[in-house]
Each structure stands twice: as C-alpha cells, then as structure tokens.
Chain A
C-alpha cells in the first residue's frame, strides 16, 4: 500500500471516529480510563525528563557565557525560552509518542488480532468511535496540562542545577525568568501540544486498528507507529512555528 492510500485510509478512519458516541455513560467511562492510561500514567516520565533537561540547559548556557558584557540573567531567560518554546511542547510530545504511541498501537493491535474488534463490530458498535475518540479527547485535554507541568519543572530544574553547581545566582536566574515575558509564547506552546496530542492519539490508533497477522505484526506496527508519530510531530512543529511565529 502506498503512502497516499495510507493517508486516505487515515482520513476515512477519522470520519468514523468523529461520530456521536452511541452511549454517553459508556463513553464517559472509556474517557476516564484513557485519561488515566494516557495522561496520569505519563506524568512521572514527563516530569523526570523536563526537570533534568531544564537543569542541563541552564548549566550549558552558564558554561558557555563567559563574556562579562553578557548579563547574568541570560541563563534564566534562555532556560525559560527554550523550555516554553521547544522542550516542553515538542520534547514532551516526542517522549509521549514513544510511551503512549506504542501503548495505543499494541493495545488496539492486540484487540484486532484476538478478534475483540470483530466482537465489537458484530455487537453493532462503531469500534473506531468507541476505541479512538476517548483517546483523542483525553490526549487533547490532558497533554497541554502535561506541557505546563514540563515548562514549570524544566525552569525549576534549571534553577536547582544552578544552586547545586554554583554556576549562577538565584536572583539572576529569577530575574531572567521574569524578563520580557510574552504570554503568546505560552499560547503557541499550547497550540502546538494540542496538535501533537491529536497526532499522538490518532496515528498509533491507525497503525493498531489496521494491523494484520499476529504478535510479531503488532510489534512491528508499534515500532512503525512511534516512528511515524515522531516524524509527524517534527514536520508539524516546523510548519506550526513558521505559521505562528514566522
């Protein structure tokens, strides 16, 4: 199957996904389950990575700024900007593409090869809508919160690294964080993370739903899903940056 066919099939899938859920209560239960599986269970890894990335960015900035004419608050300013603009929305999304993407593909793919999806269809249930819509809604509403958390912890990680290494003073770092704060940059990050959340929920679902074969094919589909989700995030990141900041 060529790429154009995959794209067409993906959009046909979305047409079935975005139908009214057949039963509100069942949809609500599924949504809460997805919030837990895709969102709450990802807090730990996102927080851990954001904290250390923030620390590394601040240390590297401090070590590379030797010119006395460059103000000391630059470390805090640079850490804040890189966390808000790139590391929190894009880096966190790439991490989630790996963690959540493989989970989505393998769980839906296993349902496919063990005929659980056929069982849903035979019951008269729109399986695409039942399985994928809650994932999309959960991701779109929860991932911006994760990105906020990543921003905060990244900046805090930068401050902590500075305090532990003694490379810069707390007061300079905080002055850098407060300097030239542009709320649109946070909006930009949230817009990006919402788009990425959609990609993270749908691309792996597509790979899992249409898998054919057995356990080996489910494994392969998971790998492909992570690769394609990451590629999509990187490409969309470029276009969104161009559109929103260019």
Chain B
C-alpha cells in the first residue's frame, strides 16, 4: 500500500501540488486524472522520488521515502516498476537486453536463467519473436509492451504508468489497459496510472483521483464517477457528447 500525506511541491515559487492526501491499495489499479497542467506528472514523479516535495510524505508499506538514505532509496526503487509515457527504452539495447537490464543489474543469475525470465515476461505481454529487435524497429504499442515487460521483470510490488496509452490507437490502448489490469491482479501489485484517456477511466479505474490545479478535487470508483455531481469532474470527464450520452444511459439504467 502506498500512502501520501500532505504533498506539496512547487517550481520557482509556483505551487504545483497543494497538499495532496491519497492512498493506493495493493492489487488495485488506481488512476490519476486531470487536465494537462493539473499536476499529474509532478505528483507521479514525486511519488517515485524523481521530484523532492517541499513537505508531506510518501510511504511504501511503512517505508517513508523521505526518511530513507540514498542506498535505502535505491533498494526501495528495486521494488518499483515504471512505464514511462514515451516508453523510455534504452536505444542502444535490443528488446531482450532492455528487459534483462534490471535482472543483470540487481541479481547474480546466470545468462540462461535471465533469458528464461525475459522470455516469460515477453510472452506475458504477448510479445514474442521480437527479442533481437531494437526499440527503433518497434511500433508504439510494441514499445509499450516492452516497457511493461521491463517494469514487471523483477516482480515489483508497485507499478507506476505515466500515460500508458498516449499515442496509441484505441484498440491497442484497450489491449495495454487490460494487460496492466491483468498483471495487477495476477501479481497483486499496487498500480498507479496517470492518464487522461477516458476509455481507461471507464474500463479499469478501480479507484480514480481527480486533480485540478494541484488539488485533489474528487476520489472514487469508475461507477461512482457516473453518478457524481462534482462540477469539475463532470466538466472534465463528460466534456464530449459521446461521454455525456454514456453517462445519461448509465443514469437512466
């Protein structure tokens, strides 16, 4: 479980996060949504320790990240898997080497064992026969799958995804969403996804946190989101005619 208390972060005097409290449970997929510039990415990066918050704390199953020294922080990060918006695959390494990288770095496994593990996770993300390809040779969806495979190869306790669907066609986006949710259930990971893809919200949002101007405006499940009368949430989520109709149908039913 991840617990966030009173998180504040500002850049050059401009407050970006204004005291956010949140908790993310094990085995659940939690989504952070909000407009561009609402502080989603800063929030996610603050959870990961890539940004140092001015005040507040982030606790990973009792380990408060700000109280850890550099070595303990690195230890904690080995329990974290991250899927970046642009996949962030290492250009100079093949798919196989990218996925193998964390195992090579943190374990003393022999090459055949590492390769076995790599093949297991690549099969899990439905990406076989691409081991020797370089990231530049892959499509956007394939890159995302490699990024997911690399994120889960060390059996992480926590999985973070920053806009996992950006730049993908709707069909591939749904496949990636389902894959993340399946993996979360299967390995009982605490998953936090940063998104503004409304399909993801409707499909896999077991818990949704809505941010606006660095403040948590609303929190609930995807089902509760249909019924909410929070103006900011309604304006953001049901901004398109299609989603307005979907909401109406749900309410009517």
Contacts and interface: CB of A to CB of B under 8 A. Distances in A.
Contacts of A23: 104-106
B interface, size bucket: 20 to 34
Contacts of A25: 104
B6 interface: no
A150 B196 CA distance: 58
A119 B98 CA distance: 11
B84 A119 contact: yes
A187 interface: no
Interface residues of A, number: 18
A122 B50 contact: yes
Interface stretch (A123-131, A135-143, A177-185): A123-131
B127 to A, nearest CB: 18
Given A114-B86, A115-B85, A118-B50, A26 B74 contact: no
B80 interface: yes
Given A114-B86, A115-B88, A123 B50 contact: no
Contacts of A121: 49-50, 77
A197 to B, nearest CB: 22
A22 interface: yes
A125 B102 CA distance: 9
Interface string A187-204: 000000000000000000
A124 B78 contact: yes
A25 B82 CA distance: 24
A125 B105 contact: yes
A22 B105 contact: yes
Interface in B102-133: 102, 104-106
B179 interface: no
Contacts of B80: 122, 124
B77 A124 contact: yes
Which of A114, A121, A123, A125 lies at the interface centre, i.e. has the most chain B CB atoms within 10 A of its CB?
A123
B202 interface: no
A115 B90 CA distance: 10
The residue in B45, B74, B89, B105 that gathers the most chain A C-beta atoms within 10 A of its C-beta is B105
A123 to B, nearest CB: 5
A60 interface: no
25 contacts: A22-B106, A23-B104, A23-B106, A25-B104, A110-B91, A111-B90, A114-B86, A115-B85, A118-B45, A118-B82, A119-B84, A119-B88, A121-B49, A121-B50, A121-B77, A122-B48, A122-B80, A123-B82, A123-B101, A124-B73, A124-B74, A124-B77, A124-B80, A125-B74, A126-B74
Interface of A: 22-23, 25-26, 33, 110-111, 114-116, 118-119, 121-126
Interface of B: 45, 48-50, 73-78, 80, 82, 84-86, 88-92, 101-102, 104-106, 160
Question: Nearest 8 A-B pairs (CB), nearest first?
Answer: A124-B77, A124-B74, A119-B88, A115-B88, A122-B82, A124-B78, A115-B84, A116-B88
